[in-house]
Amino acid sequence: MRRARTIDWVPHAVLLIGIAIIAFPVYVTVVASTLTTPEIVYGPMSLLPGPHGPENYVQALSEGNAKTSGVGVGRMLLNTLVVALAIAVGKIAISIISAYAVVFFNFPGRMAFFWLIFLTLMLPVEVRIVPTYAVVAGLGLVDTYAGLAVPLIASATATLLFRQFFLTIPDEMVEAAKVDGAGPMRFFKDVVLPLSRTNIAALFVILFIYGWNQYLWPLLVTNDAEMTTIVIGIRRMLGNGDAQTEWSIVMATTVLALLPPVAIVILMQRWFVKGLVETEK
């Protein structure tokens, strides 16, 4: 492929430029997290890492900064991790089961239920935030993990995706399993779940990041500083004009906040890339 070689560099150049545009701010953040605040704020900031990384990270992790009431980023990361995992696992569990019911069982009002689930698509948390808050507060769930996660679990997006996928499982396979003697539970465990692996992995990544990035709802439902999530923590660290923002700590926190989602993507990628390559069914 001689001709291809001569123009090979064009797509490469485009990709490199794209990567540079996306990567540069991340790089600046990482560098800034190794400098002191004055070094960042006054004069042109160095583009090479400085020696203050370790102390910035230790401070961020253990005590945050003046505006986080002494709650360290470690605690915030833990809070966010629990909530994001609960949301991802909860949503997948609920939606895969409801999609299974809607696709493989014939019961009265099946379509009505499906449309009810579908309707929740139009009601994201932001829309129903006031009544939802009233319910959560009434149940005494303010400042709890349950209060943070449960209202975000209830939604239909994943149900819809699983339903679309289940509809592509051939009827004959369902019938073969019936003849083989697999009841609904066996069929779910032995056939549906393994075939949904790829979908589950992809959804897990999307939902984990969705949970990780929640802002409005955690802002409303947590008052206790101990229950702060990472996104809110970063927001709090930024000054309101009355005090100077400790940029080095903010930058270290930002880098820490990036790590878990990145780890999840890397961990899960093996699964869904595999799934995309081997088309099963």
Partner 1 sequence: MADVRLRNVRKSYGDTEVIHGVDCEIADGEFVVVVGPSGCGKSTLLRMVAGLEEITKGEIAIGGRVVNDIEPKDRDIAMVFQNYALYPHMSVFDNMAYGLKIRGVPRSEIEARVEKAANILQLKPLLERKPRQLSGGQRQRVAMGRAIVRDPQVFLFDEPLSNLDAKLRVQMRVEIKRLQQDLGTTSIYVTHDQVEAMTLADRLVVMNAGVAEQVGPPIEVYERPETVFVAGFIGSPAMNFLPAIATENGLSVGEARFRAAQRLEPGRNVTVGVRPEHLELDPASPTLRVRAELVEALGADTIVHGTLAGAPLLARLPGTQRVVAGDEVPLRCAPEHLHVFDGATGKRI
Interaction site with partner 1 (CB under 8 A): 170, 172-173, 175-182, 186, 190-191, 194-195, 278-281
- Select from 148, 135, 91, 139 the least CA-distant residue to 117: 91
**Smallest distance, partner 1 to C-beta of residue 198, A:** 11
**Smallest distance, partner 1 to C-beta of residue 170, A:** 6
Name every residue whose Cβ is closer than 8 Å to that of residue 29 and which is 6 or more positions away in sequence.
251, 254, 255
Residue closer to partner 1 (CB basis): 78 or 173: 173
Cα 6 to Cα 2: distance, rounded to the nearest angstrom: 7
**Smallest distance, partner 1 to C-beta of residue 201, A:** 14
| Residue 87 · residue 267 · CB < 8 Å | no
**Smallest distance, partner 1 to C-beta of residue 181, A:** 4
**Smallest distance, partner 1 to C-beta of residue 263, A:** 27
Q: Which residue has the tokens 């833990």?
A: 78
Q: Which residue has the tokens 């932001």?
A: 126
Residue closer to partner 1 (CB basis): 6 or 279: 279
Q: Which two tokens stand for residue 257?
A: 């906040």
**Smallest distance, partner 1 to C-beta of residue 278, A:** 7
Q: Which residue has the tokens 């004055």?
A: 38
| CB-CB neighbours of 85 under 10 Å | 18
Residue closer to partner 1 (CB basis): 126 or 172: 172
Residue closer to partner 1 (CB basis): 126 or 280: 280
**Smallest distance, partner 1 to C-beta of residue 66, A:** 55
Cα 55 to Cα 71: distance, rounded to the nearest angstrom: 17
Residue closer to partner 1 (CB basis): 1 or 179: 179
Cα 202 to Cα 273: distance, rounded to the nearest angstrom: 10
| Angle of CA points 26, 14, 46, to nearest 5° | 30
Q: Which residue has the tokens 């897990």?
A: 204
Residue closer to partner 1 (CB basis): 173 or 267: 173
SS3 assignment, position 177 = helix
Residue closer to partner 1 (CB basis): 8 or 190: 190
| Residue 163 · residue 241 · CB < 8 Å | no
